[in-house]
Each structure stands twice: as C-alpha cells, then as structure tokens.
Amino acid sequence: MRFKRLWAIFQTRNLEYFRDREAFGWNFLFPFLIIIGFGIIFKGDYRAQFKVGIFPVPPKAAIESSFEGLPESFTSFQAISFVGFESKALGLDKLKHHKIDLLIQAHTDPVRYWVTDATPSGAIVERLLKETLLPHDAGAQRFTKADIKGLQIRYVDWLFPGVLGMNMMFSALYGVGWVVVRYRKNGVLKRLKATPLTAFEYLTAQLFSRIFLLMFTLIVVWVGSDLILDFRVYGSLLNLFIVYLAGCTCMTALGLVIACRGTSEEFANGVLNLICWPMMFLSEVWFSIEGAPDWLKAVAKIFPLTHLLTAARKIMNEGQGLVAVMPEVGILCAMTLAFLLIGAAFFSWNK
C-alpha cells in the first residue's frame, strides 16, 4: 500500500464532498432542524412520560377545573400530562387504543378510574395514583377501579401496524428515491434516455417493482412475527392487505418525487431524512400524540404514514370494515396520483 495513492484518494473524496455545496450545507442544516423540531414538540424542561385522561371536561374549559378531589401531589407531578375528554365513551376509546395510560372520572368520591392491564405504563400510573390517594397512615380507601368493557387491545397489537408501516416507509423512500439518484449519477439513466422508454414508463416500472417487493416483505414479516407473538386481528385480513397496498403505493410514489431530480446521493439522503424522521415521530408509530397541540395533529395528517396507520389499526384493532377506512384510503390514493404526476412532470434523465 502506497501512502501517496491513499492520500490522493483521501483528498479527492474530501474535495468532492466539500464542492457539493448542497450536501455539505445539508449536513449542517439537518441537525439544527431536528433539534428545533424536537424543541417545539417537546417544549419544556421536563418531558411527561405518562398521559392521564379526565372526563367530563366541557369544551373550551380548563382541565384544571376537573382536578377537584385529586391530590395536588398527583396533578402537579411533572412526569404526568393530563388530557380532557367530554365523555366517558371518548376517554375509554382512547384508553383501549393506548392513547392514554389511565382514565379518571372527575368530581367523584371515592375517585373512580379505569386502567388497562395490557401496558406497564398503566400499572405505573395506577400505582402513583394509589400512593397519593392512600397515604400509609390512612385507613379509608379513597379510590375504586372500574372494569373496562369491550375489546382489550394489547400494546404489541397496537404497535405492530406501526412497525410494519415504518419498515415500509424506509424501504419505499430509500429503495426508490436514493437508488434512482444513484442511477442518474452513474450515468445509467442517461443511457436509458437513448431508448424509446419514456419517463412515465420508467417511473411506473419502478413503482410496480417496489410495490411487489414491499408487499412480499410485508407478508413474510407478518407471518414470521405472527408465529412468534400470535397477533390478534379483529378485522378482515383482505381489507388489511388492501390498506397496506394503498399505503405502500403512496409512499413509493413519494419516493419517485424525491428521485425525479438530483445527482447527489448525499443530498438525496438528507432530504429523505427530513421526510422520514418527522413522519416516523408524528404518525404514531411508537407512541400516541394525544394531548399534543392541535396544530401539531394537523401537521401529522399531511404524512401518508398517518393515514395508513389509522386505517390499519381500525381494521386490526377495532374490527372495522373497508367502508370505515375509505376516507383514509381515498386520501392515500389522491396523494399517490399527485406524487406520480409531479414525479413524471419534473423527471430528468441526467440532472
């Protein structure tokens, strides 16, 4: 090994990177965007780890008005955030779907609450509530636990559609967006331009290829995971397949929009990160954003993964039919059409 040759390659790669102003600038800009984004989402000195729902809370009323009868040591505990609901039915629905960890009925003595045994976080919040309601020197019981009627959804059953959707998102965006940019950089697309192949035909072929691979991977992962964890699906598997098909088509089309221009793999990777990370955190893959500001919930709805997971959980966890998820499927189809038109209109073979 000659040090001179090694040094020449080292210098060449560094110069190539620094002269790529888009990628060089993006590596500085992206961390700041992530930090600022997390600062807005999780603003404050302490991040609440648990969510407690309280009902009834009238519209536009301060949730603090429902704290009467609850110990101040519980309501002021920084690890707990409170979410108000107008009715018991709405609160129980959020509890069953792991949007909150515990539900309390306001202005009751003894304090009446509901908690699901399917998650450890619910048991922790219940223990905190009991410890504050029943000091060690007290003899009277100041709380009563009510039963949850209806379907009991395990956290793993709620989480599983999110993990599948996240895997689909990364495979679709990177498998199309980053790869096509690499083909353009290596001159592969320039050679294809000399053939009768049109941009729409090429993009459509990429779309169908990625859909096939994604759905094949989805089936393999589903079957393997189900054999180990025995997931509960209350709805139709065919309807669930249709929802995931619409979702993977939409996210693959989004990858084509990213792939329509650019020759820098580093810059394409930065743009993909900018899309994937907010989508992963705001689309409720791992945790609920219940209790977040309304504007943040509105932002989450611009991501196709949000509508995919909403529809998938309605079918898998609630047993609803295809008609109930048609709004989400319709939005995914509309996004797909828009992404395909944009990708075909702005596609370039060599720049």
The pLDDT tens digits of the residues spanning 168-181 come to 888 888 878 877 88
Question: Where does the pLDDT of residue 9 fall: very low under 50, low under 70, confident under 90, or very high at 90 and above?
Answer: very low
What's the pLDDT at 149? Answer: 58
Question: Where does the pLDDT of residue 90 fall: very low under 50, low under 70, confident under 90, or very high at 90 and above?
Answer: confident
Bigger pLDDT: 45 vs 259: 259
Sign, CA torsion 193/195/201/205: negative
Domain ranges of the chain: 50-145, 155-346
Chain position carrying tokens 């038109």: 341
What's the pLDDT at 20? Answer: 62
Res 105 pLDDT > 60: yes
- Residues 24-45: what's their mean pLDDT? 55
Question: What percent of the chain shows pLDDT beyond 70?
Answer: 79
Bigger pLDDT: 26 vs 304: 304
User: 297 φ, ψ to 5°?
Assistant: -65, -35
What's the pLDDT at 325? Answer: 92
Question: Where does the pLDDT of residue 139 fall: very low under 50, low under 70, confident under 90, or very high at 90 and above?
Answer: very low
Class of domain 50-145 (CATH, top level): alpha beta
Residues 260-290 have pLDDT tens digits of: 877 677 777 778 888 888 888 888 887 777 7
Question: Where does the pLDDT of residue 305 fall: very low under 50, low under 70, confident under 90, or very high at 90 and above?
Answer: very high
What's the pLDDT at 244? Answer: 93
Question: Where does the pLDDT of residue 306 fall: very low under 50, low under 70, confident under 90, or very high at 90 and above?
Answer: very high
Res 200 pLDDT > 90: no
Residues 215-236 have pLDDT tens digits of: 888 888 888 877 777 777 888 8
Sign, CA torsion 301/306/312/317: negative
Res 291 pLDDT > 70: no
What's the pLDDT at 296? Answer: 82
Max Cα-Cα span within the chain: 87
Spatial distance between the Cα atoms of 14 and 12, rounded to a whole number of angstroms: 5
User: 53 φ, ψ to 5°?
Assistant: -95, 145
The DSSP annotation for 125-191 comes to HHHHHHHHHS-TT--S--EEEPPPPS----HHHHHHHHHHHHHHHHHHIIIIIIHHHHHHHHTHHHH
**What H or E segment, with its residue span, contains residue 338?**
helix 326-346
Instruction: Choose the most confident range, by mean pLDDT, from 6-10, 12-16, 33-37, 168-172.
Output: 168-172
Question: Where does the pLDDT of residue 329 fall: very low under 50, low under 70, confident under 90, or very high at 90 and above?
Answer: very high
Helices (H), 230-303: 237-259, 265-282, 294-300
- Residues 163-191: what's their mean pLDDT? 82
What's the pLDDT at 239? Answer: 92
What's the pLDDT at 129? Answer: 82
Question: Where does the pLDDT of residue 132 fall: very low under 50, low under 70, confident under 90, or very high at 90 and above?
Answer: confident
Question: Where does the pLDDT of residue 45 fall: very low under 50, low under 70, confident under 90, or very high at 90 and above?
Answer: very low
Res 35 pLDDT > 60: no
Sign, CA torsion 59/63/64/69: positive
Res 37 pLDDT > 50: yes
